[in-house]
Amino acid sequence: MSEREAVHHELNGHGLLDRGPFDRVPRVAYFPDSFHEINGVAHTSRNFEAFARRRGLPFLCVRAGDREQKLTQEDNVWILELPRGFLSFALEKDLRFDPAFMRHLPQIEDALARFEPDLIHITGPSEVGMLGAALAHTRDLPLAASWHTNVHEYAARRLQHVLQILPKEQADAVGQKIEGASLAVATRIYSIADVLFAPNLELCDMLERTTSRQCFLMPRGVDAELFHPRNRTRLADDRQYVLGFCGRLSVEKNVALLATVQEQLEQIGVTNFRFMIVGHGAEEQWLREHLPRAEFTGVLTGNALAAAYANMDVFVFPSHTDTFGNVVLEALASGLPAIVTPEGGPKSIVRDGETGRIVPDEEFATAIAELLGNAEKLEGMRVASRGYAETASWDAVFEGVYRGYETALSKHRQILSRLPNDAAHLEIE
C-alpha cells in the first residue's frame, strides 16, 4: 500500500473517528462555489461548516445566497452571505455566475479584517473563488484549493450536440482539444494555490503532475443515520425491482445510458423492473420520453431523499465525469449496491463484486440482470454496501483537510522566513 493509499484508508474511518478537537488550528476563511444549491460542492460545504460548529473551530464562510446579510457570528462560526445580481446567468438550474460579484469586495474585506484568517480555502474558479484567491494574494495569506468538478470533461460533453454536425473522427478530435484546453486553464488556476485537495487518488496524481503542488485526499462522508435501509416503505407484495438514479439530469452524467439499459434488459427478457429518477436537469424531458418505466420524483432532500434511496433495489450511476459521487455513497448507506463505470471517482467507492459492479457502459444491463436474477447475491451486496458506508465519516474527511492546511501554513512560514526583517509583521502565529 502506497503512502497516499494509506492516508486514503485512514480517512475512510480507521483510527481517526475518536479524536477530539485539535489542540491548535488555523482560522479558516472558506469561499465555496455554492452552498445552498443541490450539488456536491454545496453538500460538502454545508457539512464542512457543520464540522466546524461541532468541533468549535474558528471558521468564516463567505458565500453567495438569495439575499444580502451582514456578517454574523455564532460562537466560532462566522457567516457572510451575499446576493448574486441581475447580471448573473445560469450555469445549471440552481447554479449561477455573477460577473459583477466584485461589488461586494468592501464587505468581504471588512469581514476578513474582523475575522483575521490564517488561511483562505476556495472550491473552484467561480466568482466567489476568484475573489477569495485574489484576497489571499493581497493579504499575503496561504491559499488552499479543492477540486470538486471535472470542468474540462463537462465542457467537452456539453458541446457534443454542436459537434454532431462534424464527421465522427473530426468531432472526437475537436472534443479532445476542447477538453485539453479546458484542463490546461483549470490547472493553471489551481497552480496558484499553496496546497490542493481532490476527492480521489487519480485526480490528486493529475493535479500534482500538472500544477507542481502537493495534493491531499478530500473524499466525502455520509450521514449513515439519515440514509439507512430502515427507511424502506415498499409493500412486501411489490415484486418489481426498482433501479434508481439520483443526480443532475444532464449530458455529462451520461443519463442517456439509462434508456439503453432499459431496452437491453427487455431484450434479454428482464421485465420485472422500473426506474426511479431523482433530480432535475436539461435531459429530463428526453428521459421522460424514452423511459416509460420510470417515476420522476424531481429534487428530493432530507427524509424524502432517504426514503427514495431505501425504496430502490439497485443504484445505477453511469457518469464518467464525477470526481467522487456523493449520491453513490448515500445509496450504499441505504443498502443499495451500485453499478458504476470504470471512469471517474465513483469507482473508488464501489468494491467490484462486493458492494456493486464496476463495468463499461455496454455491460450495465448484463450486470443488473445478474443481480436481479440472484436474490442471495443481491442481499449480500446490500449488507456489504451498508457496512462500507458506515465507515465513511465526515469528521474523518475534514480532519484530513486540516492536516493538509498545516502543509500550506508551513510552506508560507518558510517563505516569510526568507523575507527581509521589515516584513516580519506578516508572520503567521
Residues in contact with 255: Cβ distance below 8 Å, sequence separation at least 6, in sequence order: 245, 249, 281, 283, 287, 318
Which range, of 17-31, 63-77, 101-115, 356-370, averages the lowest pLDDT?
A: 17-31
324 band by pLDDT with thresholds 50, 70 and 90: confident
189 band by pLDDT with thresholds 50, 70 and 90: confident
Give DSSP secondary structure letters for 220-271: ----TTTS-GGG----TT--SEEEEEES--SGGGTTHHHHHHHHHHHHTT--
172 band by pLDDT with thresholds 50, 70 and 90: low
pLDDT score for 181: 60
- Positive or negative CA dihedral for 64, 66, 72, 77? negative
More confident of the two residues 177 and 116: 116
Q: Is residue 193 classed as helix, strand or coil in its secondary structure?
A: coil
More confident of the two residues 188 and 128: 128
Residue 186 has pLDDT above 80, yes or no: no
Q: Are 334 and 306 in contact (CB under 8 A)?
A: yes
Residue 15 has pLDDT above 50, yes or no: no
Closest CA to 12 of 218, 160, 150: 218
Closest CA to 415 of 406, 426, 402, 405: 426
Q: Is residue 166 classed as helix, strand or coil in its secondary structure?
A: coil
pLDDT in tens, 260-277: 999 999 999 999 999 999
- Please state the φ and ψ torsions of residue 166, each to the nearest 5 degrees: -95, 160
The span from the CA of 124 to the CA of 135, in Å, is 14
pLDDT score for 176: 60
Mean pLDDT of 420-427: 49
The span from the CA of 403 to the CA of 238, in Å, is 49
Give DSSP secondary structure letters for 317-373: E--SS-SS-HHHHHHHHTT--EEE-SSSGGGGT--BTTTEEE--GGGHHHHHHHHHT
Chain Cα centroid distance, residue 67:
25
* Residue found under cell 445566497: 65
| Domains of the chain, each with CATH number or no CATH | 3-221+393-426 (3.40.50.2000), 229-389 (3.40.50.2000)
Residue 255 has pLDDT above 80, yes or no: yes
Q: Is residue 216 classed as helix, strand or coil in its secondary structure?
A: strand
- CA triplet 155, 41, 48: central angle to 5 degrees? 160
Neighbours of 334 (CB within 10 A): 30
Mean pLDDT of 9-32: 58
More confident of the two residues 323 and 153: 323
Average pLDDT of the chain? 84
pTM: 0.75
Determine how β-strand 95-97 pairs with β-strand 89-92: antiparallel
The span from the CA of 350 to the CA of 199, in Å, is 14
Phi-psi region of 338 (alpha: psi -120 to 50; beta: other; left: phi over 0): beta
Helices (H), ranges, 127-217:
127-138, 151-158, 160-163, 168-190, 201-211
104 band by pLDDT with thresholds 50, 70 and 90: very high
257 band by pLDDT with thresholds 50, 70 and 90: very high
pLDDT in tens, 297-323: 999 999 999 999 999 999 999 999 888
Residues in contact with 339: Cβ distance below 8 Å, sequence separation at least 6, in sequence order: 314, 315, 316, 317, 318, 356, 357, 359, 364, 367, 368
pLDDT score for 156: 41
Give DSSP secondary structure letters for 74-139: ETTEEEEEEE--TT-EEEETTEEE-TTGGGGHHHHHHHHHHH--SEEEE-SSSHHHHHHHHHHHHT
pLDDT score for 26: 92
pLDDT score for 200: 85
Residues of the chain with pLDDT > 90, as a percent, come to 59
* Residue found under cell 454545496: 42
The one-character DSSP state at 165 is T
pLDDT score for 22: 43
The span from the CA of 32 to the CA of 63, in Å, is 6
Residues in contact with 9: Cβ distance below 8 Å, sequence separation at least 6, in sequence order: 1
More confident of the two residues 391 and 66: 391
pLDDT score for 32: 95
